[in-house]
Amino acid sequence: MVTVLFVCVENSCRSQMAEGFAQKLGKGILKAYSAGSRPSGTVNPMAISVMSEEGIDISNQGSKGFNQLPVKKFNYVITLGCKDICPFVSAEEHIEWNIDDPKGGSVELFRRVRDDVRSRVADLVDGLLKKDR
């Protein structure tokens, strides 16, 4: 099973959405985790709300730091716009998705970010399926 870590600064919006989509779209293909360089300790309520519109419940996911992860080496580490703030995490491949942080933004911004994250996670899963053939 492929392991993927999604990283953003607070682990409250973007990386939580990515973890939720990856768990749904990549079921049986990958194991998804998320963490933040400065975790807020909570998942943003607006992120929970817009993900529920897609039928994905992330309300039980927690905002966490790297030391709370059960895995220490990943196949992929995907940062979602935190650039130099995110520390190095051991992985076979590092990928940067430069996605705007919706924190403090409108519900429309959260939806745009959610849709962008969904599209990128779907592409990742499709790529993994093609590699597996």
Q: Would you name the residues annotated as active-site residues?
A: 8, 82, 86
Residue 88 region by backbone torsions, left for phi larger than 0, else alpha for psi between -120 and 50, else beta? beta
> CB–CB of 75/4 below 8 Å?
yes
Q: Count other Cβ atoms within 10 Å, centred on residue 107.
A: 12
Per-position b or e across 23-52, b if 16+ CB within 10 A of its CB: bbbbeebbbbbbbbbebeeebbebbbebbe
Rg, the chain, Cα only: 13
